[in-house]
Each structure stands twice: as structure tokens, then as C-alpha cells.
Amino acid sequence: MDKKFAPHIEELTKALGNISRSTIEDELELLLKYRVPIDEAKRSILKKFQNDSPVLKKVNDLAIGDKGIALEVRILNINEKNVNLRGNSVTIFSGALADESGLCSFTSWKALSLNPGDAVRVRNASVRAWHNRAEVSIGDRSEVELLEETYLPDISELSVTPVKKLGEVGYSDMFISSVAAVIELYHRDVNVKGKDLTIIEGVMADETSRLPFVSWSLLDGVDIGTIVRFEDASVSMYRGVPSIHLNESTSVHIVGPEEHLSFTFASVNLPPKPLPLGDVLQNEGMFDVSVEGNIVSVRPGSGVIARCPECNRVIMKNTCRSHGVVEGIRDMRIKLILDDGTGSLLVMLNRELSEIVYGKTLQESESLMGKEMSANVVYDDMKSILTGHYLGVRGNTSKVEYGVTFVAKSVWVPSEDLDMRVSVLLERLEGVE
């Protein structure tokens, strides 16, 4: 299906959480085939699949944008407060709720007579983004029903900080305990509310994944190569990528060599193995992953660009949408679509990586523009040189309104031989007629 319909499919998938993406694609493709306008086609699909029975979801499965869902959860804490909403004082109720799969915050815009420990069934709730994570929103059309006390695990059980592998950390985790190796570590001076602090930042890894971390307190004896066990660390989210935060209340212990673990520093301090793009597309965001595929398209916006000296945004005709007319700074980037047969995603390359992949520096590209007297000559040249090439990239992913974006930190030309790739392809095609 034409990629220009991807945002519409993404929107429908979020609205119809219980309907598979492939089903929605098939329905939309059929309607467009009969020349149904896109807006009318979307309304038709929503009407066909939406029903009055809300989808029952576990906390761990919540996704930002979910609507009309049902939850069976226990209230961990609840607070009443007044907020100013468009000039009016409004009373809301907020707190945390949990089931056996995880916990998350909630806000109710309707009055609730609930206490910590109450087991409830919430119908027709929605999920919004709050501080970069999913939060349950209970509105006027939502229904809240008390359940039997024994229907869910006890509040003491649900309040225990879960012990997780790094690869299991997601939106539903506000606090976790884990064991991981420190594979990157450096100190950074910051100023917080007028107070100068030195914080520790770095990357932790286990056999399932690697995640960034920040420590707001000293970590005596901890350095690159140290394996640590930490308890009650908070988790923050940014564009779907979790990060671990250690503070004075977090218990951190160094794991000695006598303790048998399922990984070692050496085993996790390796470059990540390339993942199928189809797996990457299933995640809200991933930290430090690598993928390989063919460049099937170089997108408009690639080439020599100008950025605002104040905010670094790309500007057009020396005009920044935030700072007005400015003297732009020349830069170069490539926006390309990478495809490996399991999926395709947008990859962003900065100037350094663009120069490596394109084979021309920014200065050489500017010379080419002057010689050809054309602003698009570099973009056209990139398309002719790069389209079809096989490329490996390593970096972070995030899912935004228009799909998954991969911001690359390094690139390479995969060296594995063609026979191996053909063999893998034949295995995937086995049984396909």
C-alpha cells in the first residue's frame, strides 16, 4: 500500500486497538480501490469495527491514544486537588493504579469516591501522554464500578517494585529493580534550581537490552565494567525510550564475581546485533539498536539545508517559525527509507554521517549547487547515488505521529556475503507461494 497512507493507518490502528493493522490496511485499500475519499473511508472503517463493548486491557498493554478501553485495576493512591482549566477552578482526582502487569498514573475529571486499595472496573477510559508516558484519563463518559476485594492481588503485592530485565522496562513501569553492567559512564556538571551539582550519566546493559541511566548521587566504587544491583530506581520516558534514574533513596550494590549471573560485562558490551525492521516497528521507542536494509527512497528535505542559529530548527528562505528572519547556518542531512523486507522506516542522518554515506562534504555539495545553479541538485544527486544501496545503521528509534523514526549515530556497509543474505531470504520465503 502507498506509504502516503501510513499516517491514516496509524491513526485508525490507535483508534481501533482490538483490530489488527493488516485488517485495517486491507479494508482501507479496498475502499480506496473503489475511489472512496480517504476521510469517508476512515469514517466507514471506524463505524464498521467500533462497537459498544470496550476493549479490556492490562496496564502493561496500554498505548498512548487508546480510547474506549476497560481496565480492572486496584487504586494504589488517590489525591484530590483543584486546577485552573481555561480560567475556571476544577476539582480533579489523580493517583496511581495497578494490576498484576504493571502500574501507571491516572487523572479523573469526574468525582470519585474511592480509597487506596479499592478494586475497580473502569469502562470507556482513554490513555493520554503525560510526562512522556501513558496515563489513564477518566472522563465524564467513563464508568467506575467497585469490584470484589478478592478480585485482584492485594495492594501490598501490587505495590512491590518489580524486578525486571532492562528489555522488559516500558510505559507501565514507574519504579524497577534490576541487575545490569555499566558499559558507559561519565560525569556532568549541571545547575538545578541555582545549585551546582555533578551527576553521573551512562549506559547500563544486561543480556536483553541496554538503557541510559542518570545517578543524582555518588556511586562509590562504580566504574565502567562494574555490575550493580539496584532497587527502587525510578523510570522516565522520552519518546518511548525508558531511562533509569538513581537517587539517594535508590539502593545500589556492586555484584561480586562470586555471584552467578546470566551475563557478564564482556558478553553485554558488544555492538547490538541487527534486528528485523518489523520488530523495531512494534516498539514505541528503542535505545541503541542496529538495523540493516536497502535504501528504497531518499526523501525530500535531504541535501544542503539551513538551520536557525537560535534553536537549530531547519529554516526556509532565512525565516525561522520561532525567531523570524535569521541568518541561517548551512548544514547537510539525509532522510532515507530503509527496507529489509519485514518493514520500512525513516532514517535520519546528520551532517557527519551524510558526508560518509553520500561521499561528498558539505563544502563540495555547496560547490555543486553553485556550479549547477540549482538548490535541488544535491538532493537529486543523493537519490541517484544512494537508492538501492544496502546500509547498516545504529542509533535510537522513537514513534511519532507519522510512524517510527530512526536517528542514526553510526553507519556502515554490511560486509556479510550475498550468499548468506540469499539463504536468509529463502528461509523467510519458505512456504510462500
Secondary structure of the chain in HEC code, one letter for each residue = CCHHHHHHHHHHHHHCCCCCHHHHHHHHHHHHHCCCCHHHHHHHHHHHHCCCCCEECCHHHCCCCCCCEEEEEEEEEEEEEEEEECCEEEEEEEEEEEECCEEEEEEECCCCCCCCCCEEEEEEEEEEEECCEEEEEECCCCEEEECCHHHCCCHHHHCCCCECCHHHCCCCCCEEEEEEEEEEEEEEEEEECCEEEEEEEEEEECCCCEEEEEECCCCCCCCCCCEEEEEEEEEEEECCEEEEEECCCCEEEECCCCCCCCCCHHHHCCCCCECCHHHHCCCCEEEEEEEEEEEEEECCCCEEEEECCCCCCEEECCEECCCEECCCEEEEEEEEEEECCCCEEEEEECHHHHHHHHCCCHHHHHHHHHHHCCCCHHHHHHHHHHCCCEEEEEEEEEEECCEEEEEEEEEECCCCCHHHHHHHHHHHHCCCC
Is the model more confident about 375 or about 337? 337
pLDDT confidence band for 429 (50 / 70 / 90)? low
pLDDT at residue 43, rounded to an integer: 81
**Is the predicted pLDDT of residue 243 greater than 90, yes or no?**
yes
Q: Which residue has the higher pLDDT, 65 or 387?
A: 387
145 and 173 fall within a common domain: no
Choose the final residue of a domain: 248, 269, 290.
Answer: 269
Residue 432 reports pLDDT greater than 60:
no
299 and 410 inside one domain = yes
Q: Indicate whether 150 pLDDT > 90.
A: no
Residue 72 falls within a domain, yes or no? yes
- The parent domain of residue 13 ranges over 5-49
Residues 281, 387, single domain; the answer is yes
Which CATH number is 185's domain given? 2.40.50.140
Instruction: Report yes or no on 424 lying in a domain.
Output: no
The pLDDT-based confidence of 33 (bands split at 50, 70, 90) is confident
6-27, pLDDT tens digit by residue? 878 877 876 766 667 778 888 8
Evaluate whether residue 32 is within a structural domain. yes
- Tell me the CB-side half-sphere exposure of residue 232, using CA atoms within 13 A: 7
The better pLDDT of the pair 240, 180 is held by 180
Q: Which residue has the higher pLDDT, 198 or 4?
A: 198
The pLDDT, as a whole number, for residue 428 is 64
| Residue 341 resides in a domain | yes
Query: Tens digits of per-residue pLDDT, 318-374?
Result: 899 888 999 999 999 999 999 998 999 999 999 999 999 999 999 999 999 988 888
Query: Is there a single domain that holds both residue 69 and residue 16?
Result: no
195 plus 103 within the same structural domain: no
247 with 340, same domain? Answer: no
**Given 269, 295, 312, which residue is the final one in a domain?**
269
pLDDT of residue 209 exceeding 80: yes
Residue 50, pLDDT score: 67
243 and 322 within one domain: no
pLDDT band at 202 (very low <50, low <70, confident <90, very high): very high
pLDDT of residue 311: 92
Query: Model confidence over 276-289: pLDDT tens digits?
Result: 999 999 887 899 99
Arithmetic mean of pLDDT, 105-120 = 92
Residue 88 scores a pLDDT above 80: yes
What is d(CA 327, CA 310) in angstroms, rounded to the nearest whole number? 10
If one counts the domains in the chain, the total is 4
Confidence class for position 52, pLDDT limits 50, 70, 90: low
Indicate if 108 and 214 belong to the same structural domain: no
- The rounded mean pLDDT for the chain is 88
Q: Looking at the structure, do residues 282 and 346 belong to the same domain, yes or no?
A: yes
Residue 222 lies in a domain: yes
Q: Is there a domain that residue 426 lies in? A: no
Q: Is position 229 within any domain? A: yes
Which of 140, 158, 176 terminates a domain? The answer is 158
Are residues 128 and 116 both part of a single domain?
yes
Whether residues 347 and 384 share a domain: the answer is yes
Q: What is the pTM of this model?
A: 0.70
Q: What is the pLDDT of residue 425?
A: 66
Task: Specify whether 250 is located in the same domain as 281.
Answer: no
pLDDT in tens, 61-85: 888 888 888 999 999 999 999 888 8
* Residue 204 binned pLDDT confidence (cut-offs 50, 70, 90): very high
Could you tell me if residue 299 is inside a domain? yes
Pairwise pLDDT comparison (391 vs 42), residue with the higher score: 391
